[in-house]
Amino acid sequence: MVERESRSDLSAILKAASDPTRRAILTMLAQQGPLRVTDIARQFDMSLNSVSKHIKVLENAELVRRRTEWREHLIEVQMDPLSAVDEWFAGLRSIWALRLDALETALEDPKDDGPVS
């Protein structure tokens, strides 16, 4: 059974990643490495404040981390929390694989339920 805390972490991660802008930010950071908030904001047709709010949601879900170098705030992606999502999807995949195997077996070897003569 899954613990409640890990489920809430998973929910926070999935909720944070549910927005297309936040997914784009995650992809950008994964491809380019750490970026300044202003560099991230330039890639979107929205205010710096709006992009900062998206980044804050990602920070709260621990999908990104902010570090300060001198006066610059750099945002970098954190891949570890995504392992919880991967584990959850792996569990779903194995459940569905078992169900599909059972269906395939049932379709290949139907029982003869016809009338007995």
Q: Place 51 in a pLDDT band, splitting at 50, 70 and 90.
A: very high
Q: If you average pLDDT over each of 51-55, 87-91, 113-117, which comes out highest?
A: 51-55
Q: Which domain holds residue 41?
A: 4-108
Residue 22's Cβ-side half-sphere holds a number of Cα atoms within 13 Å equal to: 21
Answer positive or negative: Cα dihedral of 36, 34, 90, 100: positive
Structural domain count of the chain: 1
Q: CA distances (Å), 116 to each of 24, 77, 110, 112, 113, in order?
A: 63, 67, 16, 10, 9
Q: What is the CATH number of the domain that holds 41?
A: 1.10.10.10
Alpha-carbon distance 77 to 58, whole Å?
A: 9
Per-residue pLDDT of 71-99, as tens digits, reads 888 999 998 888 888 888 888 888 888 88
